[in-house]
Chains A and B, each alone.
Chain A
Amino acid sequence: MNAPWIWILFPGLVAVGLVFWPASTRAKARVGSGVALTLALLAWFLPVDRLITVVAGRVVVQIQPDWVVLGRALVLPDTLRPWVMGVYLALALWLWAAPWARMHPAFVSWAMVTTVFLVAALTVRPFLYAALLVEMAVLAAVPLLAPGDEPVGEGVVRYVAWTTLGMPFLLLAGSFLTGLETGSVESPQVIRAAALLAGGLLPWMGVVPFHSVAPLLTESTHPYRAAFTLTITTTIIGLFALGFWEQYTWLRDTPRTYQVLRLAGMVMFLLGSLWAPFQRHAGRALGYGWIAENGLGLLALGLGGREGVQAYAALMPARMVLMWALAVSLSILGHPEDAWHREALWGRAVRKPLASGLWVLGWAGLAAWPLTIGLWPRWHLARALTTFGPVWTGAFVAGLLALSATALRWLRVLLAPPASTENTGPLRAETSWDRIALVAGYALVVAGFVLPHVLNPWVLRAVEHFPHLLGK
């Protein structure tokens, strides 16, 4: 028995089974989320590469961390378990709520396929092969983003194109970096490798000028599908990028790389947050929210060292919960017409108060309002940024204020009296099942604020995967 069998092969087989299982979204979601939750729990409790006694102490088992495939290895060390747990927990949440977001049955199976490829990308050795597995994950996300019975949005084509464009750069960067673990930053080979690395990571992380794909995707496809794909892929690509800093001393020891990350992160955060309040389409606004959130991730990485990796890990639970809450509330708000522009949502709070509230609360969370899961990680980030001067802190606060304005703007739209009789038509109000998902959303957003100490052990264990960045 080895760890990749449990967390890659098994869910991969389940995902393939789900692809061919002609069942409803609800049935598939039950199986998919059940499997994902089980895998998350196993990742938390089951140690890798250590002896475990089972059956009343009579049997001793040891789960090996590696699995050799075609001459290369998939290695899932014990330190990676917290991240694997986080990914599968997030997957369980997205799959569980899929029926209430009115997802196509294919969503469940392809979401699982995508996640499995991404987890495999974190484990493959040599790790430059990860680029190919991430590419597979993105291609597997196509039927998820564009189910056969709906028109294909322009965003899907651009998303696939730009992600595929990044792959060759990363593969080449990886090969150039071989043997350069301790190279000098002045060496031409290192400079070339760094340029290639940037050429690959920019489109993958949706960094300026490749950011426009996010609002395009969230506008042209269902926001739940788009938000899932963007959130899960970027989070894992961020981990993949951290792997470069962990492995290469020259990247870690060069302050300029952190300056670039901080600058890129702040530009993205400001771009996303300052543009979000001006969007007339809620899906597009969600895309800009994602850009801001992604910018925060880069900003955290730009802090460098222990502080940076801890800030990055601390942002992850909040990102997963807030993006999910925004996506599920928007899906329920837009139902049954699947229309998310401002005019369609005008006065919608009368019919869908819980969904309206969660949508606004999600934005409040992105803006670090008290009582939301977003506050603590942003608070720590703001404190860390004070060391870089008032301009950085001021820009950060300006971004948060802009996100707050977005929350208030949508609150006004949703609470306003309907503009015309067209919008007071026979809209179906929230069903009891909708309310369960929405109440779960409120609970998660608030619990992250009230019980931050529940998340702290996860953060402390997750950062152990990067001993060099922690200075060990």
Chain B
Amino acid sequence: MTLDLGSGISVVMLALPVLGGLLPAVAQDWRWILLGVALAEAGAGVLLLRLWPPFMALSLLIAGWIAAAFLGLGQSAQWQRGAPMPEAWAGRLFRFTITGFALVLLAYQTENTLAWLPRGFTPAMAWAALGLMLTGILHLAMTQHPFRVTASLLILLAGFVLVYAYIEQSLLLTVLLVGVKLFLGAMGSYLLFAPVAGEGA
């Protein structure tokens, strides 16, 4: 994988999975996790601007941020109720190790993944998109807490949209993706407002 680090876009591509993927993995405070989601959405939005008309890319970016805000609203309510996310150092270390290892593996194998991606996909873009998807899936596998689950799904979707943007660009698709993101954020928030049975991260 070669990256021109002089270009701002390349820096975004390189940093995206690290910020959007690793930050939520190591963070204990829910606000840092939310920041990771917001950064993933922002990075994906910037990259989407190269592929889609601006109003479509910005719609998705704003929808992602609103979804994150919904999620933050739900989690802050739970936090104020005195129900913080249960977390231990060992869990954070485990998540960091697994996510870091997966990202290293992806960086090593980026060229090989291109056959599975649409034509025109560059290795750097593959790193950014697949990195977000991979970290999203890994987080999903390691938690059952509604906040972390929804955050992981938003990160996964941010990466997926980058892949899908190469294949399809239509107004209906944008509307549906915006709807899915908003719905997902709202449902995550809804689950956080409700009392949770058998909660555990």
Contact A154 to B115, CB < 8 A, known contacts A71-B171, A132-B177, A220-B197 = no
Contact check, A171 vs B164: say whether CB atoms are below 8 A apart.
yes
* Main SS class of interface, A: helix
Contact check, B175 vs A164: say whether CB atoms are below 8 A apart.
no
CA distance A161 to B140 in the complex (A): 7
B residues whose Cβ falls under 8 Å from a Cβ of A: 115-116, 118, 133, 137, 140, 144-146, 149, 152-153, 156-157, 160, 163-164, 167-168, 170-173, 175-177, 179-180, 183-184, 187, 190-191, 193-198
CA distance A158 to B141 in the complex (A): 10
Chain A residue contacts of B193, Cβ below 8 A: 148
Contact check, A69 vs B172: say whether CB atoms are below 8 A apart.
yes
CA distance A142 to B190 in the complex (A): 9
The smallest C-beta distance from A133 to any residue of chain B, in angstroms, reads 7
A to B CB contacts below 8 Å, 28 in the list: A70-B172, A71-B172, A72-B172, A129-B172, A132-B177, A132-B179, A132-B180, A133-B176, A136-B176, A136-B180, A136-B183, A139-B187, A140-B183, A146-B191, A148-B193, A153-B198, A154-B197, A161-B149, A164-B153, A164-B157, A165-B153, A168-B164, A171-B160, A172-B164, A172-B167, A175-B118, A175-B167, A175-B168
Chain A residue contacts of B152, Cβ below 8 A: 161
Contact check, B163 vs A152: say whether CB atoms are below 8 A apart.
no
CA distance A181 to B163 in the complex (A): 22
Query: Contacts A148-B194, A153-B198, A175-B164 given; 19 further ones with Cβ under 8 A?
Result: A72-B172, A135-B180, A150-B195, A151-B194, A152-B191, A152-B194, A152-B196, A154-B197, A154-B198, A157-B146, A160-B149, A160-B153, A164-B157, A167-B180, A168-B133, A168-B160, A171-B164, A188-B115, A192-B116
CA distance A241 to B162 in the complex (A): 25
Q: Is A156 at the interface (CB under 8 A from chain B)?
A: yes
Closest to A149 in B: B194
Chain B residue contacts of A133, Cβ below 8 A: 176
The smallest C-beta distance from B86 to any residue of chain A, in angstroms, reads 14
Chain A residue contacts of B164, Cβ below 8 A: 168, 171-172, 175
Closest 9 CB pairs of A and B: A151-B197, A70-B172, A168-B160, A132-B176, A175-B167, A72-B172, A139-B183, A142-B187, A70-B171
Which residue of the partner chain, among A146, A149, A158, A164, contacts B184 with CB atoms under 8 Å? A164
Chain B residue contacts of A153, Cβ below 8 A: 197-198
Closest to B167 in A: A175
Closest to B154 in A: A164
Closest to A220 in B: B197
Which residue of the partner chain, among B137, B163, B176, B195, contacts A165 with CB atoms under 8 Å? B137
Contact check, B170 vs A168: say whether CB atoms are below 8 A apart.
no
Closest to B175 in A: A70
CA distance A399 to B33 in the complex (A): 46
Q: Is A143 at the interface (CB under 8 A from chain B)?
A: yes
Contact check, B184 vs A139: say whether CB atoms are below 8 A apart.
yes
Closest to A73 in B: B172
The smallest C-beta distance from A325 to any residue of chain B, in angstroms, reads 27
CA distance A158 to B167 in the complex (A): 29
Q: 1/0 contact trace for A112-156 toward B, CB 8 Å?
A: 000000000000000001001101100110110010111111101
Interface residues of A in 417-454 (CB under 8 A from B): none
Chain B residue contacts of A172, Cβ below 8 A: 160, 163-164, 167
Closest to A171 in B: B164
Contact check, B179 vs A136: say whether CB atoms are below 8 A apart.
yes
CA distance A33 to B108 in the complex (A): 56
CA distance A160 to B167 in the complex (A): 26
Contact check, A152 vs B197: say whether CB atoms are below 8 A apart.
yes
CA distance A71 to B187 in the complex (A): 28
